[in-house]
Amino acid sequence: MRCPIPLARPPKPLDVLPLGDLAAYVEFSRTLDLEVNAFVQRLAAAVHARAAPGVRDVVPALGGLALHFDPAFEGNVLAAAAALVESCLEGGLPEKPDLIRTLEVPVCYAAEFAPDIDDVAKKVNLPAEEIAARHCAGDYRVLMIGFAPGHAYMGGLDARLAVPRRATPRAAVPAGSVGIANQQTVIYPYAISGGWSVIGRTPLTVFDAMRQEPSLFATGDRIRFRAIGREEFSRLAKR
């Protein structure tokens, strides 16, 4: 995945939307834009650094920023969110996060872990082995954590693999399943419903509520996938 080029001028919010009574979403883009996403992550770091009274959490999304406020907050949530973002933009944003992690994720692309790989192969006119090779060759960045705790959306998928979501979602996708759709790839953190094409599975525990850091991934992480066989999958799964 090419590195996002810093925007010459910070974008203006398109809208500030309510998320219930105690949160607001400051929207900068309604489509996936890697430059805007990188900007949102820098903005999130700036808002975190402010430690503004009443702000409980700051959550960067694909094209915007969600600000969650404390139940005791008495002001106008939308106005407060807009003012805080504007203040951070005026004060300048960090050029990049203080620490960018690069994580290697082992993935087994064997048939029993990849129920959709043959279907993807037919759609893109590539053999299944090439699907795995192209998926491993990508440089990915975690664009956001969403849909479910620990569920990381990663940008950087090879354009040849950009198939649409499945017409019929599955009621339950096994934990660790690696899915692709459009321009992104994901790893299901535990067994949940999903409509992405599953092309492999990692033996890593992506989310564990009992860990000090429950989610294996964080927004901004760089991810590299490494193909493994069934034996290594079994060995790593027992750790």
Q: 70: helix, coil or strand?
A: coil
Q: Kindly provide the residue ranges of all beta strands, DSSP E only, lying in 79-196, ordered along the sequence.
A: 102-108, 140-145, 152-155, 170-173, 177-181, 184-187, 192-194
Q: What is the pLDDT of residue 96?
A: 65
Looking at residue 99, its pLDDT comes to 62
Residue 125 tokens read as 């006119």
Q: Which residues of the chain have pLDDT under 50?
A: 1-3, 5
User: Tokens 């944003």 label which residue?
Assistant: 93
**Residue 1 has what pLDDT?**
45
* Cα–Cα distance, 212 to 199 (Å, whole number): 30
Tokens, residue 207: 């989310």
Q: Which long-range contacts (CB under 8 A, 24 or more apart) does 59-63 make?
A: 59/145, 60/144, 60/219, 61/25, 61/144, 61/146, 62/29, 62/32, 62/37, 62/143, 62/144, 62/153, 63/27, 63/28, 63/29, 63/30, 63/31, 63/32, 63/33, 63/36, 63/37
Q: Give the pLDDT confidence score for residue 2 in this predicted structure.
A: 44
Q: What is the pTM of this model?
A: 0.86
